[in-house]
Amino acid sequence: MPKYLLLLALLALGACHSQDSSVPAIVRAAVAQAQRDSAKAARLDRTARYYRDLGQTYEDSATLYHLQSTHVKAQITAADSATLQRFFAGY
């Protein structure tokens, strides 16, 4: 939006020195465009934040699943080791 403020300032200076009636229309058009761009940027920012949060949720879920599956594998491995040790203890 700062580039629009510069444009508005320059156009306002021109409006002070010019009797052309189209300058205020140009200023209104620049202000309207700046407002549209600002609203669009806000929507894009909200959308980006939503998808970032969604991605973080999926990443957290994948990490939790990985940790749980690793823990289950470790428990199974430990139980299998203990069973095998008991089985072969007599030999």
Report the number of distinct structural domains present in the chain.
1
Report pLDDT for 15.
52
Task: State the Cα–Cα distance between residues 81 and 74, nearest whole angstrom.
Answer: 10
The answer to whether the CB of 8 falls within 8 A of the CB of 30 is yes
- 25-46 confidence digits (pLDDT tens): 888 888 888 889 989 999 999 9
Taking the model in full, what pTM does it have? Answer: 0.48
Q: What is the pLDDT of residues 49-86, one digit of tens each?
A: 999 999 999 998 888 888 888 877 777 777 777 777 77
Q: Is the pLDDT of residue 5 over 80?
A: no
Cα 39 to chain centroid distance, Å, stands at: 17
Domain that holds residue 43: 2-88
